[in-house]
Amino acid sequence: MKKKVIGLIDGQSGNIGSINKAIKDIIKGRPYQLKIIKSHFNYKSFDKIILPGQGAYATLMSNLKKLKIIQPLKKYLENNSSYLGICVGMQILSDWGYEEKTTRGLGIISGDIKKFINKKLIIPHMGWNTVNLKKDDTIIANSFDKKDFYFVHSYIFQNIKKSDVLAFTLYGQKFPSIVKKGNIYGVQFHPEKSHKHGLNLIKNYILKS
């Protein structure tokens, strides 16, 4: 049986160790192989791609450009191939990011990444918070509804189509915590740091989507 190839992008904007370990544990003994993407790649060679992101929107986009990853990644996404973006890896799917400076995103899911509006909030939004499902899906079934996941962020997806939002979270205001367009997913929280429910989400993405 030919193994499915999962690509894990190292955008040099944070430690990929925890997500790397989680994926390896999930695919152990299964017909999958994991490849770390650190530079230009053949977008046709991967069945799934995961991009974990920490830090700033502009920094990640700059790193991906330097590593010559942006163009093959855009072709991969425009082909509606399977993708999971985590935190900033989700945010760069947008049209524009307004962190540090105005930065053009990948333009896959319409919307902008802007800072929380409420000045009374403690920013960054850090810690456990509840994910509220808007609709059922392969990777985030009803069993995840009203469950807590781990967040660390100061910016949120705004001006997004309702149809592209799978789940939302409340922190002073509603914001999208899971987005989806076709086979492309994004989560604002860190599933690799969210214990059982987070690891189950990654597992569902790899094995079921």
> Catalytic residue among 99, 125, 153, 192, which?
192
Q: What is the pLDDT of residue 166?
A: 95
Q: What is the pLDDT of residue 2?
A: 84
* Phi, psi (degrees; rounded to nearest 5) at 4: -75, 140
Q: What is the pLDDT of residue 91?
A: 98
pLDDT band of 61, cuts 50, 70, 90: very high
pLDDT band of 23, cuts 50, 70, 90: very high
Other CB atoms within 10 Å distance of the CB of residue 162: 7
Q: Tell me how far CA of residue 93 lies from CA of 36, 109, 160, in angstroms.
A: 20, 6, 11
pLDDT band of 172, cuts 50, 70, 90: very high
Q: What is the pLDDT of residue 48?
A: 98
The two three-digit tokens of residue 206, written as one number: 């790899």
Residue 125 falls in the annotated catalytic set = no
Please name the helix (run of DSSP H) or strand (run of DSSP E) that holds residue 114, with its range, or none: strand 112-115
Whose tokens are 């939002």? That residue is 165
Q: What is the pLDDT of residue 140?
A: 80
Q: Is the pLDDT of residue 135 over 90?
A: no
Q: Which residues touch 48 (CB under 8 Å, ≥6 apart)? A: 4, 5, 6, 7, 81, 82, 83, 84, 205, 206, 209
pLDDT tens per residue across span 65-118? 999 999 999 999 999 999 999 999 999 999 999 998 999 999 999 999 999 988
Q: What domains can you pick out in the chain, each with its CATH number?
A: 4-208 (3.40.50.880)
Share of the chain above pLDDT 70, in %: 99
Cβ(113)–Cβ(155) below 8 Å: yes
> Catalytic residue among 40, 190, 195, 197, which?
190
Residue 153 falls in the annotated catalytic set = no
Higher pLDDT, 155 or 12: 155
Whole-number Å distance between alpha carbons of 51 and 86: 6
> Catalytic residue among 87, 99, 125, 153, which?
87
What mean pLDDT value characterizes the chain? 94
The length of the chain in residues reads 209
Judged by DSSP in three states, 127 sits in strand
Whole-number Å distance between alpha carbons of 7 and 17: 14
Residue 192 falls in the annotated catalytic set = yes
Q: What is the pLDDT of residue 100?
A: 84
